[in-house]
Structure 1
Amino acid sequence: MNTSATASNITTPTKKLSDAGVSIWLDDLSRERLISGSLRALIEEKDVVGVTTNPTIFAAALAAHRTYEVQVKELAAAGTDVDEAVLAITTDDVREACDLFAPVAEATQGVDGRVSIEVDPRLAQDAEATSAMAQRLSRTIDRDNALIKIPATEAGLPSITATIAEGISVNVTLIFSLERYRAVINAYLLGLEQALENGKDLAAIHSVASFFVSRVDTEIDKRLDAIGTDEAKDLKGEAGLANARLAYRIHKESLDTERWARLAAAGAHPQRPLWASTGVKDPSLPDTRYVTGLVAPHTVNTMPEKTLESTFDHAEITGDTITGTYEQSTKVIEQLAEVGISYDEVVAKLEAEGLTKFEDSWSELLETVRAALDASR
């Protein structure tokens, strides 16, 4: 069961969601949130027990708030280059957020109270460079409740293993396909096995696997509209949930093995599925669809603030909405093939596009910081 600092005894939808075993993490962070107390308020009032970040979030924060001006001027005066400035600014925010969430981390034995920061996505095809940056981020932040985000590219899989083997907790991001998710689980287990050989305390290592949801529907629904048949229209808005629900089945199956039993006996924690990209893009769908439709124990839902507010306001939480859906979810994937949509092609396209978006966001972050440094010199 999740622990939050909610003071009220009122059973809100977010409290019901937490009680159902779903950890609510906010998909946003800024220095303004930290200074103003708005993040603390979300912890206390809306059951938020973690935070995820990405370059787009940091670029938006830097562009919108003057709270970075003093640090930017100091970095500029010191002649800091843009890459080092980005590292300093983002890790400072994440470290402060980790401190804010430290009581949650302590209360949940490190399961929650987590703050994620992403490695430079330009390194996503370079396993050694990704591993090295993951270790540097971990050292720089120097907080046990930080999570280092590593994309689940093929090249990223060895980095996941190597980072876990060093005893560093990891948020594996950019997962779309079920096949790749199996590989991510294997990378995590292999990392735990190596960590055990290296004498690391497995109980101190945590991981989540971020499965992207709404982007699947956005891409597939576009194709269903182009097909235009009644059979195609009936499938709109179904693929994202079906894909995530089948991922949860894979997660559960991975825990029912001798391999996992050995690691669990040594103190290992399961790698929890995390539902990412949960903001609803299609206005014809309920705005809490990717929250209410993905309720199951030992999962995380990372929400943009708009989705969090909608969830708190009117989400109907009715308990587990994943277990028992596997047959229907499999049928959805099969029906997509029957109307002419290739699941493998879609998930490969989404991974490639997702990586490009990550890289573009990183470039935007670099340009934002470069402009701020130049203006301060």
Structure 2
Amino acid sequence: MTTPTQQLSDAGVSIWLDDLSRGRLETGTLRKLIEEKNVVGVTTNPSIFHAAITSGTDYDHIIAAKAAEGASVEDTIFEITTTDVADACDLFAPVAAATRGIDGRVSIEVDPRLAWDTAGTIAEAKHLYQRVNKANVHIKIPATVEGLEAITATLAEGISVNVTLIFSLERYRAVINAFQAGLEQAKENGHDLSKIHSVASFFVSRVDTEIDKRLDKIGTEEAKALKGKAGVANARLAYQVYEELFATERWGLLADAGALPQRPLWASTGVKDPAYPDTLYVTELVAPGVVNTMPEKTLDATFDHGVVTGDTVSGTYEEANATLDALEKLGVSYNDVVALLETEGLDKFVASWKELLADVEGALASARKAS
């Protein structure tokens, strides 16, 4: 009997873990997830690194060594995060080799404080790529308006990109345009397009969290009936956009030159409302050629009792549109929700990064005193 995670893989879904730490690498727990639960990649973000570095003693020796060198807090964090990602890239190298680089990817994000700085993001993306120095790394760039140009410029350099914090269908279209423009420039620059990989991280659960709050305020039976439906509907319509924009003549020319499509990645797939099934954002978003990046709790739930019934996205677009239309009729503004979620998402990552800077600065100071 195959496991639900194997069934997901068989249905064309790549399972990536939304977490990374030195402890996972050194204890072999990450390797075990590869071997037992079909994990074929990893994503990180500022919140994940903050939790990893500040919860325990795994990084104390690195911080002590950096303190002895007189390193700055920024240099210390850069060293820690890029080392973890490089080591994870090595762990996933066999997966990358077996899938021709499609999976076996490990993502690292540019400093979130650069999200509104196009030139700064491009420079940081190149710096991270050079430091990690692994073919299977993905550089994460937020899908802000300022980030779109940075996405194109980074891909044009032959660097693989994970575009993060996508909430709206309109912005997703702009992301795909930025991706295809980047590949067109990469082709002109002489890069092998078959070696450039990208995913577009479309956030799911946060959409329900915000919209459900608004539906609770409305309080009618009609409003309550729509709770927990917007996140899946929005993601399913994103897959429709993916199908549409990767079936154009423009894309055909790039594909003929060896390019691979930018895969949709379902992010924020941990269920926030305990009233909903804990595998909701996994089993309802099964489609060929997608990635689902899961926190370990969601991965464990899926492995234990996820019911995978094949493709649950194709053919659902009319129903998904009807859900979003019904929300608008109740006065829940889609455009307002997605704009708010982008702002909040960036604010959370910036806050996590600032907390990390403060905590590591404190640890460096303590290490200097101890020596």
The TM-score, its normalising length taken from structure 1, stands at 0.97
Check if 1:14 corresponds to 2:5.
yes
Structure 1 stretches of at least 4 aligned residues deviating more than 6 Å after TM superposition: none
Check if 1:109 corresponds to 2:100.
yes
Check if 1:66 corresponds to 2:57.
yes
3-state DSSP class of the match of 1:60?
Answer: helix
Tell whether the 8 Å contact from 1:205 to 1:268 is kept in structure 2 after alignment.
yes
Q: Which residue, 340, 343, 346 being the options, matches 1:352?
A: 343
**Structure 2 counterparts to residues 104-253 of structure 1, below 5 A:** 104-253=95-244
Kindly provide the amino acid, as one letter, of the partner of residue 28 in structure 1. Answer: D
For 1:143 and 1:213, the matched residues in 2 are separated by 29
For 2:355 and 2:48, the matched residues in 1 are separated by 11
Check if 1:33 corresponds to 2:24.
yes
Residue number in structure 1 paired with 2:324: 333
Deviation at 1:22, TM superposition (A): 0.3
3-state DSSP class of the match of 1:274?
Answer: strand
| Cα displacement string for residues 238-262 of structure 1 (whole angstroms, at most 9, x for unaligned residues) | 0000000000000011111000000
Check if 1:75 corresponds to 2:48.
no
Range that drifts further, 50-59 or 240-249: 50-59
**Structure 2 counterparts to residues 286-297 of structure 1, below 5 A:** 286-297=277-288
Deviation at 1:331, TM superposition (A): 0.3
Tell whether the 8 Å contact from 1:46 to 1:312 is kept in structure 2 after alignment.
yes
Deviation at 1:11, TM superposition (A): 0.5
5+ residue gaps, structure 2, are none
5+ residue gaps, structure 1, are 1-9
Deviation at 1:65, TM superposition (A): 2.6
Check if 1:258 corresponds to 2:231.
no
3-state DSSP class of the match of 1:164?
Answer: helix
The number of aligned residues is: 368
Check if 1:49 corresponds to 2:46.
no
Task: State, as a whole percentage, how many aligned pairs show the same letter.
Answer: 66
Kindly provide the amino acid, as one letter, of the partner of residue 13 in structure 1. Answer: P
For 1:260 and 1:107, the matched residues in 2 are separated by 25
| Cα displacement string for residues 186-244 of structure 1 (whole angstroms, at most 9, x for unaligned residues) | 00000000000000110110000000000000000000000011111110000000000
Tell whether the 8 Å contact from 1:104 to 1:113 is kept in structure 2 after alignment.
yes
For 2:365 and 2:158, the matched residues in 1 are separated by 38
Kindly provide the amino acid, as one letter, of the partner of residue 37 in structure 2. Answer: K
Tell whether the 8 Å contact from 1:25 to 1:301 is kept in structure 2 after alignment.
yes
For 2:181 and 2:54, the matched residues in 1 are separated by 40
Check if 1:309 corresponds to 2:300.
yes
Q: Which residue, 244, 260, 269 being the options, matches 1:278?
A: 269
| Cα displacement string for residues 110-163 of structure 1 (whole angstroms, at most 9, x for unaligned residues) | 000000000001011110000000000000000000000000000000000000
Residue number in structure 2 paired with 1:3: none
| Cα displacement string for residues 330-355 of structure 1 (whole angstroms, at most 9, x for unaligned residues) | 00000001111100000000001111
Check if 1:318 corresponds to 2:315.
no
Kindly provide the amino acid, as one letter, of the partner of residue 250 in structure 2. Answer: R
